[in-house]
Amino acid sequence: MGALRQTQGVETKHKLSNTLRNWLPILHSSLSDLGEAMTPFVEANPVIEVKSGYEEDFEKRIPKKIISRGVSNSRTEQIEALTIQHKSLYDVLDEQIGAPLFPTPISQEIASFVIANLDEQGYYDGDTEVFCQEHDINIQNFEKIRLRFLHVDPVGIGAKDLAESFLFQLDNANISDKAYSLAVEIINDIQNIHAYSKEESFSEVMHVIATFKNPPNIEYQEDSAQIVPDLMIYFNDEQQIEVKLNDAYYPIINIDTSYGVEHEFVTQKIKEAKSLVDALDMRKATLYKVGLMIVEYQYEFFTGGQIMPLTLKTLADEFGHNPSTISRAIANKYIACDRGVLAMKEFFTTAIDEDVSNAAIKEYLIGLVKQESRAKPLSDMKLLDLIQEKFKVKMVRRTIAKYRKQLNIAGSSERKKLYQLGL
């Protein structure tokens, strides 16, 4: 009897370890990368058939309450944008490599080189000299062809810097001849923009420049990575908050049992397939529980308040895991709610003190910048004073500078220039 108990214990432990071994990479991957995380298990198992969760429209799976309950247009557009498969910037550009802009093989090769050497903002950052030496052409001819990106959509792509990007866009703008000449001067001397403020066409130039895209690839920056939320949190018709798992987006695993189960190999593969199914179920259960905990601790946020201090240790204690495991588990996971699509990690903040989270500080900082004087933007020291006064905490200027950079907010002098451009 003792031997039997021991055998059963070993079998149970073996099954659990198999599931956990599958579970960790599946839990740590984002929902959009889940299929890729499963690939090693699927390719090694002939009894597994997988149907992609991407075959249905994600839009149908978003509860209407997320979109309808007091959401601003910009937030709604962000959520709806997740439901549409857009072409990437490189797909759009590749389609334009050909006649009439690039009719010859060398012009197409140069265009391809420019596209391949765009930086993260859409500016050309390639080594022109090396390319010209390898292809035995001079730099002037290279530049003539690169400048044809003036006619490529999105306009401004392929320029070397902000000024050239604005000049590209200026040539495609609806502007009077007189204002056009002044605009060229201003763009080439952007640092001294004040010197042109008394010019007759200055207001027209500023109006036109304010419509320019900066950076030139701004329309495609959010498309660089497909964001698929694991959870939807919303208020139902009874105004009760609900947590809905985005389980319809999961790959569907079918186990083919038509093979002869008398074969040991097939039996083992069926066990491994069931272990993979168990791993997916564990992922769903884990993230659903995370969602419930987020609602419990951050209820005020979902009703319009601020994110409260919540450490990963609190969550880890609930699950009986190490905080580092939980940190990896919530990485690249997102929640869709009526305040937008947010990364899970944003709900787990470091507390500045017992009652104030750094998320609350950042939210207040954003509000200060939105309301600041455009003629005299707030310096980091002034922001520091206002934040310390508001939250009754002690901080240092470099922390404000760090938060500002994390929020993609320019320094006060740079913001002043952008305000003068109407951006």
Kindly list the structural domains of the chain, giving each domain's residue range(s) and its CATH number in brackets, ordered by start. 2-60+227-347 (no CATH), 89-220 (no CATH), 358-420 (1.10.10)
pLDDT value, residue 81: 40
Would you call 50 helix, strand, or coil by DSSP?
strand
258 has a pLDDT exceeding 90: no
391 has a pLDDT exceeding 60: yes
The per-residue pLDDT for range 301-338, each reduced to its tens digit, is 888 777 777 777 788 888 777 777 777 778 778 888 88
pLDDT value, residue 141: 93
Strand partners, 245: 231
Distance from C-alpha of 63 to C-alpha of 216, rounded to nearest angstrom: 34
Q: Is the CB of residue 280 less than 8 Å from the CB of residue 50? A: no
Cβ-based neighbours of 23, under 8 Å, separated by 6 or more? 278, 279, 282, 283
Q: How far is CA 338 from the centre of its chain?
A: 18
The per-residue pLDDT for range 23-61, each reduced to its tens digit, is 677 777 878 778 777 888 888 888 888 776 554 444 444
67 has a pLDDT exceeding 60: no
Alpha carbon of 129 to those of 118, 126, 132, 164: distances in Å? Answer: 16, 9, 5, 20
Which contiguous run of DSSP H or E holds residue 287? helix 264-297
298 has a pLDDT exceeding 50: yes
Would you call 378 helix, strand, or coil by DSSP?
coil
pLDDT value, residue 423: 62
Q: How many C-alpha atoms does 217 have within 13 Å on its Cβ side?
A: 22
146 has a pLDDT exceeding 90: yes
Which contiguous run of DSSP H or E holds residue 234? strand 231-235
Q: What is the 3-state secondary structure (H, E, C) of 88-146?
A: CHHHHHHCCCCCCCCCCHHHHHHHHHHHHCECCCCCECCCHHHHHHHHCCCHHHHHHHH
Distance from C-alpha of 32 to C-alpha of 369, rounded to nearest angstrom: 34
pLDDT value, residue 84: 36
The per-residue pLDDT for range 79-123, each reduced to its tens digit, is 344 333 346 777 788 888 888 889 999 999 999 889 888 887 888
193 has a pLDDT exceeding 50: yes
pLDDT value, residue 360: 76
- Maximum pairwise Cα distance, the chain: 100
Percent of the chain with pLDDT over 90: 13
Q: How far is CA 93 from the centre of its chain?
A: 21
Cβ-based neighbours of 130, under 8 Å, separated by 6 or more? none
Strand partners, 231: 245, 335
Distance from C-alpha of 405 to C-alpha of 336, rounded to nearest angstrom: 25
User: Which has the closest alpha carbon to 61: 282, 250, 329, 310?
Assistant: 250
Strands of 241-245's sheet in order across: 241-245, 231-235, 334-337, 340-343
Q: Is the CB of residue 337 less than 8 Å from the CB of residue 70? A: no
pTM, whole model, 2 decimals?
0.48
Q: How far is CA 341 from the centre of its chain?
A: 10
The two tokens of residue 169 are 């866009």
pLDDT band at residue 166 using 50, 70 and 90 as cut-offs: very high
140 has a pLDDT exceeding 80: yes
Q: Is the dihedral of CA 98, 100, 103, 107 positive or negative?
A: negative
